Structure 1
Amino acid sequence: MDARIPAHIEVSGFIRAVEAEGGFGTVLNKGERDAGTIMLVLIENGDNARIYERMPQLDGSRVWQCTRRQQTSPDFGESLTMRLAFSDYIETRGRQDPDLWIVELDVAKPERFIGLGV
């Protein structure tokens, strides 16, 4: 049997770790308390948003992978459209999976909190 940390404890740990580093963390969508999956929206100073989700690998492990990046454009209208598409993806994922936790973390170099030294 796969020993897994309950989702609500892992989410709480992410938020506490980020806040201890002077960042901000919040739950955008509360999923299933123990077995829910987690999607992280990582941001640096309110910009450069990207989404990380755990993806199953052939060996049965699950690793964090960037599934979306918020595109920015110098054109305000185009930039707004891109931001809305990014937000729509987050909302759609939340509707598709009622067990999904969606957590936003805004801190410098947020990938370090999921073991990625990007």
Structure 2
Amino acid sequence: MSGARLASSVLVGALLQRTRAEGGFAVVLAKGDAKSGSVLVILLERGVRSSILERVLGPDGAYAWGGSGPKALGDEEEVQKFLARKRKFDPDLWIIELDVPSAERFTAEMNAMN
């Protein structure tokens, strides 16, 4: 069914479990609403931030992961300011950090989960 949405806590749990199963490291930085909170993923590969993704509803009614955050992902201060703004705007937002062996492949698999 197009537009069907997993409970946020289930989606976050699945992402954490998948990351750990692949030998990666996963942590919840901010816990949001268990049922309907938005989810933001900070994706790292070998400790280096590669992207920030948000799960968004597309015009076709399907959910997908899209790029988000500042352009300078290596600028820690800018990233922290961005995250603080997101949480201030949406206190129900989940923020998770996933350090995976292949960030590009993992992102493709995340989109396939939708």
Band of TM-score, shorter chain: 0.7 to 0.9
Partner of 1:51: 52
| Structure 1 segment 85-96 matched on structure 2, within 5 A | 85-96=78-89
Q: State how 1:98-117 maps to structure 2 within 5 Å.
A: 98-110=91-103, 111-115=107-111
Question: Could you say which structure has the larger radius of gyration?
Answer: 1
Contact 2:19 2:25 in 1 (8 A): yes
On the 8 A contact 1:19/1:25 being kept in 2, the answer is: yes
Q: Calculate percent identity across the aligned residue pairs.
A: 31
**Number of residue pairs the alignment of both structures matches:** 108
Return the TM-score normalized by structure 2. 0.82
Distance of 2:44 and 2:68 partners within structure 1: 14
Q: Gaps spanning 5+ residues in structure 2: where?
A: none
- Give the Cα separation in 1 of the matches to 2:9 and 2:56: 19
Residue of structure 1 equivalent to 2:36? 35
CA RMSD for the aligned pairs? Answer: 2.2
State yes or no: 1:67 paired with 2:60: no
Q: Which amino acid aligns with 1:96?
A: F
1:76 aligns to what?
none
Unaligned runs of 5+ in 1: 73-78
Query: In 1, are the aligned partners of 2:53 and 2:66 still within 8 Å (CA)?
Result: yes
Residue equivalent to 1:97: 90
Q: Matched residues in 2 for 1:45 and 1:10: separation?
A: 23
Determine the C-alpha separation between the residues in 2 that align with 1:59 and 1:112.
19
Relative to 1, partners in 2 of residues 1:57 and 1:46: Cα closer, same or farther, differing over 3 Å? same
C-alpha displacement at 1:109, in angstroms?
1.8
User: Take 1:102 and 1:37, find their aligned partners in 2: how far apart are those partners?
Assistant: 9
